A and B are shown apart, each in its own frame.
Chain A
Amino acid sequence: MAVYTQLLVRRYLSTRIIPLIAVAAVGLCVALVVIVVSVMSGFLDNLRASGRTLMGDVVISYPVQGIPYYKEFIADVLKLPGAAAATPLVDTYGLLRMPYPGGPNKDVVTAQVWAIEPETFAQVTELDRTIWWKPAASPQEALAMAEDDPRRQQDLSGLYEDAKVLRDRATGRPGALLGMHVSIVNQRQRDGSYRPRNSMWWMPNHEITVTLVPISEKGTVSQSNSRVFKVVNEVMSGVFQVDKNRVFIPLKEGQELLRLDEAPIVDTTAVPDASGNYPVIGTSPARATQILVRAKEGVTPDELRVQVAEAYEQFYLQKSADPSVRTRPPATEYVSIMTWEQRLRDLIAPVEKERQMMRILFSITYLVCAGLILAIFWSIVSEKTRDIGILRAIGASRMGVLWIFLRYGLTIGMVGSGVGIALAWLVIRNINAIHMALGNDAPRWLYVTFFLLAAGSAALTVRALTRSRILSVLLWTVATLALVGIGTGLVLHRGFLIWDPAVYYFATIPSEMDWNNAWITAVGAIVFSVLGAAVPAARAADIDPVRALRYE
């Protein structure tokens, strides 16, 4: 392509205001799409990461009655080439009586109770990471904590060690781990840390009573069982629904409360002995309602799920064929074997759909870009009609004229996309800081600055009035009103937080740029900028040079 197209595009871009407006418009459109989709992608990634954090890669589930001989099955699973670790648990709902001081308010709460083996559970999930009250991992981390953060003030190593074994190590009594929001005690701070509402009282080391209701094989409710647990620590998974509802207790105690522990089978048709006991004819094995499995590095959850399903089939066939086994495991078709993603499908699928919908909706901004550039270029071509005639008179071809405006659109699209991506990157990197700033009252220097700028703008309005410059009066008046409006808004601003963890599951806004989406958005904006420029460019190429030279 000839040199003049490059020269003219450069000059048209650098000597005029309109292309800068177009660049700003494209940049804002790109930034908008990239920020929204990046936050949603980050949200989805968090959801997925949390899924793995909370339940490993594959979940074998048979609720209520549980899977017997689960230890043998876990031994089989651990021999699988794709399995790194496995852990049993009992999952149920129960009541917690809370030991709040001074009143019955919210004394009893419902909770999802997970009875776990803490050691193997920690191998499958990231339990250690979610334990909240623990010493800082490094001096730097401690320094980063607020002065009044209990994690900085107190020695929490004892609590941390108790949490890891779910037991009060001093007395050997069973312990409980509460989700951070199960109790009403913890108050979230703006920096994401927690303080007890009453600085003299917090949950750890207090006792809660857990009441669970066993359900028989026939589906009837039996007498409820209660037991006291010492709260050894609290967990913060980052998923609000979990932190609000979940309580961990040791597996053995959970099984006992739900009567899923090992028990003798007696023959009630026989004659009881002298002390009234029926003869024991076998043993009912302990059960677990879920088995969580973690995949080895490089093995996908789906691959592991296939292996686990085959292993369960073998386990079931072997137990069914064994005449000494009185309690058969449930048949494969009754057992749910799912990856964490399938298990969280109800949660993940709507977010994925929402993200897709956002992409489609925000793609409209591409049309805005294209429309804007079309309008701007249409006016530029009209204004440049005589220039086009001059160029044609000197020998420029129609394709050359077409290329000037296409290249102009391409440049605006590229520069605008670059600006948009840079802006989006800045916002996303600092989104939590921006959010926190919105949550605080505006600093005095900020609104004072706006009022000073407004005063300056008002002075310029008066000067424009004295010179009878209507456009200047209008522009400076608008600027003054806008600055006063912003300043007043800042004075009245009392802080609000948009990202409510109760609604969005996670405590912080995802702040990772979705680069794939960013590039796609940028390319889309460039394509639509060129498309927007194409119609005026074709119009320019079609202009009759003789008419163009006479154009006034």
Chain B
Amino acid sequence: MTMHPHSTPPHAAEGVLLSACDVVRTYRMGRVEVPVLKSASIDVKPGEWVAILGSSGSGKSTLLHLLGGLDRADSGTVTFRGEHVGGYSQSRLDRYRNEHIGFVFQFYHLLPELNVLENTLLPATIGIGRFEWMRRQGEIRDRARMLLERFGLSHRFRHRPAELSGGERQRVAIARALMHNPDVLLADEPTGNLDAKTGDTILDMIAEQHRAGLTVVMVTHDQWIAARADRTVHLVDGRVA
């Protein structure tokens, strides 16, 4: 199916912010082709918290990557506000990830050479040019500090990730994801590497953002965690059950 990159796909329902329709993704492992997503569809409405629940290897992370523009589907469409994300040029896709999406990963994925404040500032430093940075540096730094303070990290600005606990690292990762006021927070097993208590704290933080209007898509294999979401989508063997 060929589509104009920014045209509205026929399936895009009214009031849907982010959607995947019949997406297929197959990975090649040496000479073997492994179909990960076989025909998965999902609609996410603005302000909704959707949990994608599935066992290991069910394709939930792959679906999240497709929704976030990190990967492209072999077939099927991903739309954001009715625009066909798969049709974006590479630079438009980079901008989409930077401006509209905030990623949170299971293993935090902070840059070890940068301190907490610099890690949080990263999306801003990527998204704007040198001159704008010089002009808006103060305001941007204030926002990063405000987010970190809100997440209880005011005493950790100058610390490197290696000096932080797992929970603190994930809080920094969430602050980084929220730095640019994204439309959607895509969280891939955000509590998967944390103990239950710390995981709850992280989920509370996400819930707080959600209450403030943020759209959240969260991947998990734990139904208790999925229960915190507004809605749960089950992914089984590459298809939404």
The residues of A with any CB-CB pair to B shorter than 8 Å are: 1-4, 7-8, 11-12, 15, 386-387, 389-398, 400, 544-546, 549
Contact check, B126 vs A4: say whether CB atoms are below 8 A apart.
yes
Interface string of B42-76 (1 = CB under 8 A from A): 00000000000000000000100100101100000
B residues 114-142 in Cβ contact with A at 8 Å:
114, 118, 122-123, 125-130, 133
Q: Is the CB of A394 within 8 A of B123?
A: yes
Given A7-B114, A546-B65, A549-B105, verify A393-B97 contact (CB < 8 Å).
yes
Specify which chain B residues have a CB less than 8 angstroms from the CB of A398 in the assembled complex. Answer: 90
Q: Quick check: is B150 within 8 A (CB to CB) of the other chain?
A: no
- Is there an interface contact between A3 and B71, defined as CB atoms closer than 8 Å? no
In the bound complex, residues from chain B placing their C-beta under 8 Å from that of A1 are 129-130
User: With A2-B130, A395-B99 known to touch, is A12 a contact of B113 (CB < 8 Å)?
Assistant: yes
**Contact flag A394-B113 (CB < 8 Å), given A7-B118, A545-B70, A549-B105:** no
State A386–B106 Cα separation when bound (angstroms): 13
Which residue of B has the minimal Cβ distance to A15?
B113
Instruction: Kindly list 4 other residue pairs between chains A and B, CB separation below 8 angstroms, not including A4-B126, A11-B113.
Output: A2-B125, A395-B127, A396-B98, A397-B91
Q: Which 4 A-B pairs have the closest CB atoms?
A: A395-B98, A4-B125, A11-B113, A3-B125
15 contacts between A and B (CB under 8 A): A3-B125, A4-B126, A391-B122, A392-B94, A392-B97, A393-B105, A394-B126, A395-B94, A395-B96, A395-B97, A395-B98, A395-B99, A396-B94, A396-B98, A397-B90
Interface presence of B156 (CB below 8 A):
no
Contact residues in B for A549 (Cβ distance below 8 Å)? 70, 105, 109
- Minimum distance in angstroms from A53 CB to a CB of chain B: 57
CA distance A394 to B176 in the complex (A): 9
Question: How far, in whole Å, are A514 and B133 apart by their CA atoms in the complex?
Answer: 42
Give the distance to chain A from B104, nearest Cβ to Cβ, in Å.
10
**Quick one: closest A residue to B111, CB to CB?**
A387
> Quick check: A391 and B125 within 8 Å, CB to CB?
no
How far, in Å, is B164 (CB) from chain A's closest CB?
16
**Most chain A CB within a 10 A radius of its CB, from B99, B105, B111:** B111
With a cutoff of 8 Å between Cβ atoms, the chain B residues found around residue A394 in the complex are 97-98, 103, 122-123, 126, 176
Assembly CA distance A245 to B85 (angstroms): 88
Smallest distance from the beta carbon of A552 to chain B beta carbons, Å? 10
Given A394-B97, A395-B94, A400 and B126 contact (CB-CB distance below 8 Å): yes
CA A390 to CA B97, docked complex, whole Å: 11
State in angstroms the CA–CA spacing of A386 and B109 once bound together.
8
Are B128 and A2 neighbours in the complex by a CB distance under 8 Å?
Answer: yes
- Chain B positions 77 through 113: 1 when the CB is less than 8 Å from some CB of chain A, otherwise 0: 0000000000000110011111100010100011111
Output the least CB separation between A163 and chain B (Å): 70
